[in-house]
Amino acid sequence: MGKPWRTVTAVAMLAVAWTGGATGGATAETVFKLGYSLGPKAHYGIGAQAFGDEVARQSNGRYRIEMFPNNALGGEREMIEGAQLGTVDLVISSTGPVGNFVPSTLITDIPFLFRDYAHARAVLDGPIGQEILDEFPAHGLIGLAWCENGFRHLTNSVRAVHEPEDIKGLKLRTMQNDVHMEAFSTLGALPTPMAFPELFTSLQQHTVDGQENPIPVIVSAKFAQVQKYLSLTGHVYSPALFIMSPYPWEAMPTADRAIFLAAAKVGAQAMRAEVNRVEDSGIAQLRAAGMTVDTEVDKAAFQKVLAPAYTDYAKRFGQADIDRIRNYRP
């Protein structure tokens, strides 16, 4: 099962020291591994650092978060599996692979579900988001907080995409997420699920024509080097999650769990602030890097073509739950 927690002391690097049972705390510095897929200067890295700093501050240094950016602990799916097994302590992941473990998260991936950032953040920070987080323990994971990638947009190396007809026949990398894949199939594209670490090379070698991601990911992954066209489709709002393995979680005193929950919210806010910053400047950066940007995509036409997929989503998730999100007001 792997080590459920790791403690560093001056005497023994792998010694674990706890006192007081349910009401005590770690008597030595306890180190947790946190893995994520992007670089330390990307929004994931900004959020991870804010989380780690807050954990250290609130615990008076009893806990330290060791960072493993750039898929150093594996792709997102592998890291989530590691959290279930106890070989990875903490993960920041997009919701794409999380749906394979906690199916209820997939409702957030329905195209054009959220009006804007304020709507999406209010839903996830409110009772609906908490209800989904409450389902994680039944699936062998702990959902600490919702964080963010941003609204997803389409890039490709073949042609500009302005309306649904333009997307037909394009081979597009998607996450291994059947909600996303159904949407692109309905639009006439050829969705190709692929782990993120493989994506840049696949675009470079034209194994796939394009991909879809939020602006902060497109910028940080340097996709402008291998993609010519950017269409601001905003087709899906992409949350991310702070996820923890249940093994260190269950070993913690209740008061320490509260520290991690509070720190995850601090990390989420830092991540969202970075998304805002990059959204404001990223499109100009991508234009400067040579991308052709369509800012006036016909979103209404895309939604019309997606009607059959919406019928399937209603059967799967329940129209009432979809409407509850669509119509949410804090």
Q: What is the CATH number of the domain that holds 260?
A: 3.40.190.170
Residue 111 included in any domain? yes
Residue 124 included in any domain? yes
DSSP string over 180-239: HHHHHHHTT-EEEE--GGGHHHHHHTTSSSEEEEEHHHHHHTTGGGT--EEEEEEEEEEE
Instruction: Name the residue among 170, 161, 268, 289 with its Cα closest to residue 219.
Output: 289
The whole-number mean pLDDT for each consecutive block of 10 residues of the chain, a chain of 330 residues, reads 40 32 56 96 96 98 97 95 98 92 95 96 97 98 96 97 97 91 96 93 97 93 97 96 98 98 98 93 95 96 97 96 95
Q: Report the alpha-carbon distance of residue 120 to residue 206 in Å, rounded.
A: 34
Q: Which domain covers residue 270, as residue numbers?
A: 6-326
Instruction: Name the residue among 212, 193, 192, 188 with its Cα closest to residue 308.
Output: 188
Handedness of CA 37, 42, 44, 45 (dihedral sign): positive
Q: Could you give the number of structural domains in the chain?
A: 1
Residue 301 included in any domain? yes
Return the bridge partners of 241, or none.
93, 146
CB atoms within 10 A of CB 299: 15
Residue 31 included in any domain? yes
Instruction: Name the residue among 133, 128, 158, 135 with its Cα closest to residue 144.
Output: 133
Which residue matches tokens 């796939």? Answer: 208
Structure tokens at 133: 């987080």
Residue 1 included in any domain? no
Whole-model pTM: value is: 0.86
pLDDT on residue 27: 52
Q: Report the alpha-carbon distance of residue 33 to residue 12 in Å, rounded.
A: 18
